[in-house]
Chains A and B, each alone.
Chain A
Amino acid sequence: MSKSYSEISRDGFWTNNVGLVQILGLCPLLAVSTSTVNGIGLGIATTLALVFSNLLVSLIRNVVKPEVRIPVFVMIIASVVTVIELSMNAWFHELYKILGIFVPLIVTNCALLGRAEAFAFKNSPDRAALDGLTMGLGFTAVLVLLGTIREILGSGTILAQAHMMFGELGNHLTITLIDNYHGFLLAILPPGAFIGLGLIIAVKNLIDDRNKRQAALQPKIITANLKTA
């Protein structure tokens, strides 16, 4: 029973979101999500690493014995992250200057090992790569959301330092919401990350609950209508 592409995508973005449901990769998630730009940076780097590690794990799933799979996963992930870092440094140096500091952080993200074990090792390469992509993008969405919330509360801006990511154009993207804002330090410090993530998870659960209740209500209304008719 392999999942359809749309199921895999829905899992990655919502139902089984790395940051909100699996609660994996908290170390980089909480440490880096101090601004929108940081969130985008770590998100892109993580997605890239997830796609390649998932793809490789899926390709070797029939060769590797289950007994030694975990050390093999660890070696693959470490190599993928190192290769991405070196190649970026050599051929995309401008990008490396921005994302470079985030790449080594990916090694602390257990989502990579988690996806290798839970999905890639049991699925075909195309599905594994798609799983990596959507899980990565789902993680990116949480990072950007949390980063934006913390940036607004902590420094009163959105997309500050966007020029580091988008070049000169980025200077026009920065929005200062509140002038002379003194900053709510708690939002920038680690507790702000925990509180922010907690609130986002709460909102997600609220939405899920409402959807479930509506789904449960729908058939009853139909049967009720039928009876009155």
Chain B
Amino acid sequence: MVGKQMSTAAAILGGFAILCAGAVGFIYDSTRVQIEDNERAARVAALHELIPPKLHDNDLYIDAITAESHNWLGSKKAVPVYRARMDDEPIAVIIAAEAPDGYSGTIKLLVAIRYNGELAGVRVVNHRETPGLGDYIDAERSDWIRQFAGRSLTNPDEKQWQVKKDGGAFDSNTGATISPRAVVKAVHHALTYYNSHRDQLFAPATPPQSPAKNPAESARHE
């Protein structure tokens, strides 16, 4: 009797596990394409916020390569680099660098660097910093991130590439310095990487198309 009860209970449990997994799988499958489209549209909109459409005439999303540098770009994986060109002249790159040392995990950034090495702007695209405390690094929350526009490796000089609390040039809010510290460091690293890899980053995407997926064209450097 007990055995029978147990097997019925187990069957119910198993049945529900299959049902729930099936439902989640079905929804995942039917939303995947839409979510990818949304993310692409959001990404293009985010790129255009940094490099306005009138400054370039190529398709940022297509004219992209990947770059891999755990030390300088913050990710063990290759990160996308979008190139902006006008009449085939290089205008700027947008590097999807990461700040691995946020308060709660990785902060994903878009770092836009003009051809001359000056920052066009930085945006946080994904973070899990404490709401109301560390999340002011998000452009939606405050103007903090906008102070990077116009900066470069020499403005301020290397020692000043820190938050003010550590003796640097960048503002931070009292009680929440971990998030901005991580962002400042990641932006500085991305600039350093750009400085030593500029020509590789602007190298034309040779045919065939979809260069982003071709590892042979990645700029692989530590």
Contacts and interface: CB of A to CB of B under 8 A. Distances in A.
A90 to B, nearest CB: 4
Interface string A77-107: 0110011001101110100010001000000
A26 B49 CA distance: 38
A195 interface: no
A185 B175 contact: yes
Interface string B33-59: 011001000100000000000000000
Contacts of A87: 27, 31
Interface stretch (A29-37, A113-121, A212-220): A29-37
B42 A93 contact: yes
B31 A161 contact: no
B17 A75 contact: yes
Contacts of B17: 75
A93 B38 CA distance: 7
A161 B135 CA distance: 12
B203 interface: no
A181 B93 CA distance: 39
Interface residues of A, number: 34
B23 interface: yes
A179 interface: no
Interface stretch (B8-16, B109-117, B143-151, B211-219): B8-16
A90 B31 CA distance: 6
A83 B132 contact: no
B8 to A, nearest CB: 7
- Residue from B13, B20, B42, B174 whose CB has the most chain A CB atoms within 10 Å: B20
Contacts of B13: 68, 71-72
A97 B27 CA distance: 19
A139 B85 CA distance: 51
B132 A65 contact: no
A101 B20 CA distance: 23
B24 A82 contact: yes
B34 A90 contact: yes
Given A71-B13, A75-B17, A164 B140 contact: yes
A137 interface: no
A53 B21 CA distance: 15
Interface string A39-71: 000000000000000000000100111011001
A76 B66 CA distance: 40
A140 interface: no
Contacts of B165: none
A185 B27 contact: no
B20 A79 contact: yes
A86 B27 contact: yes
B24 A32 contact: no
Given A90-B34, A101-B128, 16 more contacts: A31-B130, A34-B133, A35-B131, A35-B132, A38-B131, A64-B12, A65-B5, A72-B16, A79-B23, A86-B27, A90-B31, A154-B132, A161-B141, A185-B175, A188-B175, A189-B175
Interface of B: 5, 8-10, 12-13, 16-17, 20-21, 23-24, 27-28, 30-31, 34-35, 38, 42, 128, 130-133, 140-141, 174-175
Interface of A: 31-32, 34-35, 38, 60, 63-65, 67-68, 71-72, 75-76, 78-79, 82-83, 86-87, 89-91, 93, 97, 101, 150, 154, 161, 164, 185, 188-189
15 contacts: A35-B132, A64-B16, A65-B8, A68-B9, A76-B16, A76-B20, A79-B24, A86-B24, A90-B31, A90-B38, A91-B34, A150-B132, A185-B174, A188-B133, A189-B175
